[in-house]
Chains A and B, each alone.
Chain A
Amino acid sequence: MLRLWPLLLGVNFSFTGDGERNGTAVGLDNYRDLLEDPLFRGALRNVGLLVLLLPIAVAIPGLLATFIYLRVPGHRLFRGVYFFPAVLSPVIVGAIFNLLLAFDGPLNAVLGGAGIGPVDWLGNPHVAMFAVVGVHIWATFGMALVVFLAGFATLDGALLDAARVDGASLPQTIWHVIVPGLSRTIQFVFVTTMIGMLTSMFGLLYIMTSGGPEGSTYLPEYYIWIQQGQMNRPALASAASTVLFMIMVVVGLLQLGLLRRSGRTE
């Protein structure tokens, strides 16, 4: 009850007006405003983009964990180094990458040295969202890596030895032995990475792009914050929160179903 009651108040609040119409019931006006606002539609599109980028965000820690498990030279060092960014707060990570990705920053200097023209990482609307997602993956994959390593601990070493004796190449070993053996771990990482992407990008966006350029890096969370705090439209923000909540419910249910199904097949 304590959890549901404020939620219901919020939903109810989203059917009231802002400013001069404060407190009066306005029906679905706020939701109509949302649908007509290109900024909010852009924010939803970006959520879709995050879902599309999810496999990459899972594959990177998966591959790196595989290399560590297969004891590539220096794997002890890599294990520590990869985990390190996970302990940094998004604000610090954002500030670091603001410097690195600045137009006259070190990354562009390196590119310039290689004869490639500078890229306006955070100023080009076609690039900025990928830059921020890239930084988010960099900052958080350490946690997924640890989960993968824990999964490897349960993998039967005899299977790998058998594969090696049979002369399987590395890609063959990964595809036929490691991926099937880790299917539950992979699913778990998918779910947690998705939740991480949808709920904890705010800090990075706030520090790195402020939703810009051209509003290209808005996510629903950031939109809610802007409408409530800067535009003084709390009821519209409530409507946006309700929409975001619905999306999270749907995504959450899908993922629960996925986890449950995999639990049954084991």
Chain B
Amino acid sequence: MKQRARWSVVLVAGLVLAGCGSASEPDSSSGGSDGKLVVWDWKSGDPSAASYIERAKADFARKHPGVTVEFVAQPFEQYYTLLGAAIQAGKGPDVMLFNGGGQIRDRVDSLVPLDEYVGDDRQRLAGWEAFTKDGKTYAAPVTLQGHPIYYNKSLYQRAGLDPERPATDWNEFVANCQAITRATGAKCFAQGNKEGIGIQFFLSGLGSGVLPPQEYDDWVAGKRNWTSPGVKRVFSLWKEVNDQGLNNDGASSTAMFNDAFAVFQSGKASHVIGLMSDIGHWKDFAEFLEARNVGVMKSPVVTAGTTPSLPYDGGIGYAVAKWTKDPKAAADMVRSLTSTDALKVFYADAGAIASDTTIDVSSAGPAVATIVSETKDGKPALHVALSSKTLDLMGRLSQQLLSGSVTVDKAVEELAKSDRAG
């Protein structure tokens, strides 16, 4: 008994002492031992990325013959959990892959600003904004990611519509959809919002047709007015589309990845707001529908006076960790991973729209050609500007909007609160 009491005293004392200090030392430096760079990503294990990694490694070896590079492919579902643990321990990879937007902006404390190293690549690569916070760039873009509206040209044809002239105005768009549904039974949108991702694609895919250009730019710049008529219109449109039966049934229990895309690929819906790179994109759709039947359109004009544009950002990009021993060598690794030579291979093998705007894509079908031509006037996607916390909340609120358990006013109020907090 005495023994036990003594132990309790020791434990409690330890707890109190430790509680006064901090549990973690964010600035402790380790990892990146001399002559070796460790790169973390979730791509290098894919067979389709193998030759891309080879090219990048060869390019880097020419510049730094004495440095060995080790690629560690992590499973994507666990990636940010593992990375979070590594950051917490102050130990981890020297170079790491990030998704643009919230995922990297939440973690810039642990990254080296790359501006002084990547100056020469500025013009050649597109999509820098997604990796920028407070004027500093933290990663170099590898792919572009965005949300084109894909449509099924053969369904347009069967409904007697001209597949080369998709609607430019919302009412016309809805009328076309209804004609297609009458003729073929296909719904207007393939929608999957089980994970709360559908609303993100919807906001970005149609946002440029709803928000006036100035408000759009302000939103991306961080000046967001959630109670403006435009923002409310996006969310009321979200509900309206579902209430009018334009979505496939059960949107809240359909996963965007990949059930919603499967609905589009199997011709059960005429449109889908998809992605540009990696998955749910022109290459996937072309496998089922044939490349010539996959069309890409801009958002129809929902509010008069808007100028629809392609929403896109840097998709994935490599960043350098603060604790690396030799930031210059690590930054050179990032530059090798974004060299034209390597990216050309990545585009061809993996079916990604590469960040390098000098790559020729004319042979990959009309959808890719349209997407690449639209990147010139494209703008950053609206949802990418939001924090992961706000996106998570938006996912839940969007489901509540569809089931009618929250009003548009209440939803934008909660989103504004979360957005202000952070």
Show the binding face of A for B, using Cβ within 8 Å.
4, 8-9, 11-13, 15-16, 19-20, 22-25, 39, 101-104, 118, 120-125, 128, 209-210, 212-215, 225-226, 228-232, 234
Contacts and interface: CB of A to CB of B under 8 A. Distances in A.
Interface stretch (B21-29, B119-127, B221-229, B323-331): B21-29
B11 A22 contact: no
Contact of B194 (A122, A230, A231, A232): A122
Contacts of B5: none
A104 B25 contact: no
B399 A228 contact: no
A8 B195 CA distance: 34
Interface in B192-232: 194-196
Given A19-B106, A231-B389, 20 more contacts: A8-B15, A12-B15, A12-B19, A13-B23, A15-B19, A19-B109, A22-B109, A102-B254, A123-B250, A123-B253, A124-B252, A125-B405, A210-B195, A212-B252, A214-B399, A214-B403, A214-B405, A229-B80, A234-B84, A234-B88
A8 B253 contact: no
A11 B15 contact: yes
A18 to B, nearest CB: 10
A256 B80 CA distance: 38
Contacts of B9: none
Residue among B14, B15, B81 with most chain A CB within 10 A: B81
B24 A212 contact: no
Given A210-B194, A212-B194, A214-B399, A230 B80 contact: yes
A125 B403 contact: yes
B81 A229 contact: yes
Contact of A230 (B18, B20, B25, B388): B388
A258 B213 CA distance: 67
A209 B396 CA distance: 12
B84 A229 contact: yes
Contact of B252 (A9, A20, A22, A120): A120
Interface in B296-323: none
Contact of A123 (B14, B107, B194): B194
A7 B21 CA distance: 17
Interface centre among B18, B253, B395 (most CB of A within 10 A): B253
6 contacts: A20-B109, A123-B253, A123-B254, A212-B395, A226-B392, A234-B85
B370 interface: no
Nearest to B406: A214
A218 to B, nearest CB: 10
B363 interface: no
B409 interface: no
B181 interface: no
Count chain B CB atoms within 10 A of each CB in A22, A102, A214 and give the residue with the most.
A214
Interface of B: 11, 14-15, 18-26, 78, 80-81, 84-85, 88, 106-107, 109, 194-196, 249-254, 259, 388-389, 392, 395-396, 399-400, 403, 405
Contact of B253 (A16, A39, A121): A121
A102 to B, nearest CB: 7
A16 B405 contact: no
B396 A214 contact: yes
B24 A23 contact: yes
A16 to B, nearest CB: 5
Contact of A225 (B81, B106, B388, B405): B81
A16 B22 contact: yes
A234 B22 CA distance: 14
Contact of B399 (A4, A103, A125): A125
B189 to A, nearest CB: 15
Given A23-B24, A124-B403, A228 B250 contact: no
Most chain A beta-carbon contacts within 10 A, residue among B11, B26, B403: B403
Contact of A12 (B18, B25, B194, B405): B18
A122 B250 CA distance: 9
Contact of A212 (B21, B80, B399): B399
B261 to A, nearest CB: 15
A15 B16 CA distance: 11
Contact of A209 (B14, B78, B194, B405): B194
A213 B80 contact: no
Contacts of B88: 234
Contact of B22 (A23, A124, A213): A23
Contacts of B19: 12, 15, 25
Given A8-B14, A8-B15, A125-B405, A103 B24 contact: no
B396 A212 contact: yes
Contact of A228 (B11, B22, B84, B251): B84
Nearest to B422: A19
Contacts of A39: 396
A213 to B, nearest CB: 4
A20 B251 CA distance: 37
Nearest to A22: B26
